[in-house]
Structure 1
Amino acid sequence: MEYEKMARADLIKEVNRLASLNEYLLKEQRLADRLEFGWTGNLGHWYFHYGSNRVEFNELKVTTLGYDLEELPEIVPYEFFTEKIHPEDYETVMQAMVDHITGEKEVYEVEYRIQAKDGSYKTYHDRGKITQVDENGKPVLIAGIVFDVTQRVLMQEELQEKNRILAEKAVKDSLTDLKNHRALMEEMTKALEISLVTGEPLSVVFFDLDDFKKVNDTYGHQAGDRILIEFSEILKDSLRDSDIISRYGGEEFVVVLPKADNQAALRISDRIRLRVESFEFSGGIKVTVSGGVKTFEGEVLGELIEAADRNLYQAKARGKNRIVG
């Protein structure tokens, strides 16, 4: 900077700025020497001269973004960084600074995405505080530290995705991707509670593929698995999004039909039975299905499923490939 070309007023401002910065740096060094300074990080400190809108910083803050120091303006304004903040994070960052300046928050602290030179985004964690004010109590110098937490955020996102997958697997049948027995019990309990409160009907259908052991013995378990998957697709294609479809175990499936009385449940179940009867499964295998229907009448969950299972047993006893309810 060519100080000899500066006007007297600007020169005084520059002297004051340097004096303020020097005073803070000396204080920071004393704290660091006594191991009392808690802010340590891989991108170093930054200093925002509030009145002159000038930012000074460790070069790592910009080189991490892919910029060379030669590309920077001689005086780096606050906007050099804020204009690179991800649009979804911009308001959060600005509000964090406003909250600190107005005294709403003791410390300015925020995490945000910032665009690198190549267009990708890093995640920075900023923490700062007003360290000097003027005679009117307005900020003169805000000092802080910035961390590149990109890897930590990526690891957190990866962990969240893994947890999501694990949580999904905990309630899904691994073969058919339908809800498993555990998920059925949980969702059915909620559905029964809603039915009791609203007075709306609810029916349960217990399906079982007929003579499925013979299918496995004749064609092998891999063929049997394909049939279970294809039957699951028939169920999903035949039912509403609001219906609960589950693989109860083996070749048994339970479907919960909210807002469906006994007659509606029988119609829906028989439509599925007819689709299965006319469907040619993988390998040209033909299969039929039986079902037991029970409409909720205030019984507890276990009793409702047992009643549907008893009707399924009656369907099997009467010759299979039929619905009883």
Structure 2
Amino acid sequence: MNIYALLTFIPAIVCLAIAIRLANRREQLEAITLSLLMFSIAWWAFFYAVELLGHDLETMRLLNKISYPGIVSTPVLFFLFSMAILDKRKWFSWKRILFLFVIPLAVLLSMWTNEIHWLYYSVSELDLSSSFPVQRLVHGPLFWLGMFYTYILLLSSIFSIAHQYVLSKGPYRGQLKMILFGTLFPVLVNINYLFGFVDFGYLDMTPFAFTLASVFMAIGVMRYRLFDIRPVAKETVFERLPDGVIITDDRGTVVDINPMACSMFGVECPKLIGLNFSDAFSDSETVLSFFNSDQSNSELKVGKAIIDARKTIIHSSRGKIRGHIILLTEITERKKVEDALRQSEERLALAVKGGNVGLWDFNIDKGEFSINERYYQIMGYPGGDLLITFQNWKEFVHPEDLLPSLEEMERCYNGEKDYFDIEYRMLSKSGDWIWVHDRGEAAERDKNGRATRILGTHIDISPTKQIEEALRESQEKYRRLATTDMLTGVMNRYSLSELLRAETERSRRYGSPLSLLMFDLDNLKMINDNYGHLAGDEALKITCSYVQSSIRNCDYLGRWGGDEFLLIVTNTDFDGAIKVAEKLRAGLCVKEHKNFGKLSISIGVSVLHKDESDFDALLRRVDKALYESKKNGKNRVTSFV
């Protein structure tokens, strides 16, 4: 009995089981590519096992041909799987996938027609020297051409995963390590099969090696839950968010947490990942109660800080709950402003309730204008110190307010309105302008409808006006805080993100090009170390001022984080964006600054693709381009299409 043939069924069964399990996650690109990879290995192993059970050459040749679709598909599917886990989704267009399969299809065709030309296998004969018959194959030139393409795909995948492994942190590093470790087995075993360093006769041990690799990939999936929640562009965006973010899966396990959230709660990020939310935040009753409640928004008291917490459910494309995202924003200063304004409003309401209202009575026919003591007090004159008539009343009204006030009173006098409401400034005894509110209503009218007597109230609204001005200033200050980077005066990350989202939608809807530039100030740390942080701040201001003055009104500059800035260049294609970047770079570095010499910037450039519905991939490309500029010597422009 051929024991090796029976053992070869094991990898087929293992890979098929993994493929079926992963096929249930069809909404996830990584899962479906790994499922297809496992299925191709299972196909290969199954028909190779059946081939080893054969006893005549023709049967073995036929079964070898049947197994070959799995053999030629395996390297392509492994390459697509690696691109999926690295979030390089540009490879998943139909044109690129078909292009990847061109050579495998040519190899498959040449193998199926080998008996005509003998360029794939130069020898195919039955070997009876071992305990069971095996097909002896001598590889021809077309075989080596296909093998060359196979190793291009395998090595490209391995190098890409290894590069991401070096840059990644936390559980994602563990995932990539398991996948890298697994890929070593099939590569080494296949090389041994090709060159015979260890003698296994004419047996191909590669299916066993790929099965072992699939086990390591499965561990990466099961242990680290690779496909449950994977933040987009985590290393470039998630870690630098100014707000705290906590991500959990559907079982309440903390999948990820960014440094800002850890800072808010005084915890260490790596220790929380993988813990149940209740265990991770057992010392914080407020956030734990919020997570377990049905509330989507709440204000949490954490120490002396007040945090606005928002909870969002993550749904899969089928509507299944995949987890939660909790967004945390510290609003301590905003709450202080709101409390101060509320207290001011309460004091104003109490003052109004006290009834300190001036009264006036204007008898038009007699020309009499009488006012009460409170009216005089509002103006700063005790009763009897000044006689106010209607004529000299006009002299106390601010020149800018007199005509509008008289016009309103005239409408009431003529019968166009039953009453009037006016606010105007009056000159007080101290020489200050005070705000007053007068409401008058016609008490008597003649037969023509003209008022003969008007009664009214006179209220000092200076405190209200002061509060309104304070409120306006506070709102303006809060608006600036919410939308502006206070150091450089350009847009902050939040307002920049909202604008980028709107420009992306506009570009997608109207087909207009949208380009993005990301730059940072070279050698900022050296400036801080040599000249102090105030000099570093000044260098950032100078850089932003120069860029802001050098761009169009329809372009937008904002601070993305630290010394990184983002420039949204609208209605500009890739070539135009590169010209803009080169102009900015060259223009800045020619200027000499007396405090710290010349400044320079490194710039990354990319453009929104027509098939992209959001800007996440664009941000990844431009961040990668900036990284390359800095790595390759700074003061340069790097672009990625």
**TM-score category of the 2 structures, normalised to the smaller one:** 0.7 to 0.9
Matched residue SS, 1:132: strand
Q: Deviations over 1:242-274 (max 9, x none)?
A: 431111111111111234333332222112212
Matched residue SS, 2:603: strand
The one of the two structures with greater contact order (alpha-carbon pairs below 8 A, sep at least 6) is 1
Matched residue SS, 2:464: helix
Question: Aligned residue for 2:441?
Answer: 129
Report whether the alignment pairs 1:188 with 2:496.
Answer: no
Change (3 A) 1:305 1:108: same
Change (3 A) 1:55 1:191: farther
Instruction: Give me the whole-angstrom Cα distance separating, in 1, the residues matched to 2:620 and 2:460.
Output: 58
Report whether the alignment pairs 1:263 with 2:575.
Answer: yes
Instruction: Give me the whole-angstrom Cα distance separating, in 2, the residues matched to 1:318 and 1:82.
Output: 75
- Normalised by the size of structure 2, how large is the TM-score? 0.39
Map 1:1-40 → 2, pairs under 5 A? none
Instruction: Give me the whole-angstrom Cα distance separating, in 1, the residues matched to 2:575 and 2:457.
Output: 69
Aligned-partner residue type, residue 498 of structure 2: E
Change (3 A) 1:90 1:188: farther
Change (3 A) 1:91 1:206: same
Instruction: Give me the whole-angstrom Cα distance separating, in 2, the residues matched to 1:137 and 1:215.
Output: 79
Q: Deviations over 1:203-257 (max 9, x none)?
A: 2210023354455455554443332222222222322344311111111111112
| Contact 1:50/1:141 (8 A) holds in 2 | yes
Question: Aligned residue for 1:48?
Answer: 362
1:94 to 406, 418, 422: 406
Change (3 A) 1:115 1:257: farther
Q: How many residues align?
A: 285
Map 1:194-233 → 2, pairs under 5 A? 194-196=506-508, 200-217=512-529, 220-233=532-545
| Contact 1:41/1:147 (8 A) holds in 2 | no
- Greater helix fraction, Structure 1 or Structure 2: 2
> Which structure has the larger Rg over C-alpha atoms?
2
Matched residue SS, 1:319: coil
Q: Deviations over 1:48-89 (max 9, x none)?
A: 11334432112553564466856647xx23x43345433443
- Give the RMSD, CA atoms, in angstroms: 3.3
| Contact 2:358/2:374 (8 A) holds in 1 | yes
Instruction: Give me the whole-angstrom Cα distance separating, in 2, the residues matched to 1:258 and 1:194.
Output: 10
Tell me by how many angstroms 1:122 deviates.
Answer: 1.7
2:620 to 282, 306, 309: 306
| Contact 2:362/2:370 (8 A) holds in 1 | yes
Point out 4+ residue stretches in structure 1 off by more than 6 angstroms.
none
2:468 to 148, 156, 160: 156
Tell me by how many angstroms 1:287 deviates.
Answer: 4.3
Instruction: Give me the whole-angstrom Cα distance separating, in 2, the residues matched to 1:86 and 1:197.
Output: 53
Aligned-partner residue type, residue 108 of structure 1: F
Matched residue SS, 1:48: strand
Matched residue SS, 1:42: coil
Change (3 A) 1:83 1:264: farther
Report whether the alignment pairs 1:319 with 2:596.
Answer: no
Report whether the alignment pairs 1:175 with 2:473.
Answer: no
Change (3 A) 1:191 1:147: same
Q: Deviations over 1:144-170 (max 9, x none)?
A: 210111232123212321221122122
Change (3 A) 1:123 1:219: closer
Question: Aligned residue for 2:608?
Answer: 296
| Contact 2:358/2:459 (8 A) holds in 1 | yes
| Contact 2:415/2:451 (8 A) holds in 1 | no
Question: Aligned residue for 2:208?
Answer: none
Report whether the alignment pairs 1:114 with 2:426.
Answer: yes
Matched residue SS, 1:256: strand
- Normalised by the size of structure 1, how large is the TM-score? 0.72
Instruction: Give me the whole-angstrom Cα distance separating, in 1, the residues matched to 2:481 and 2:353.
Output: 41
Aligned-partner residue type, residue 480 of structure 2: E
Change (3 A) 1:257 1:51: farther
Question: Aligned residue for 1:250?
Answer: 562
Of all paired residues, the percent bearing the same amino acid is 32
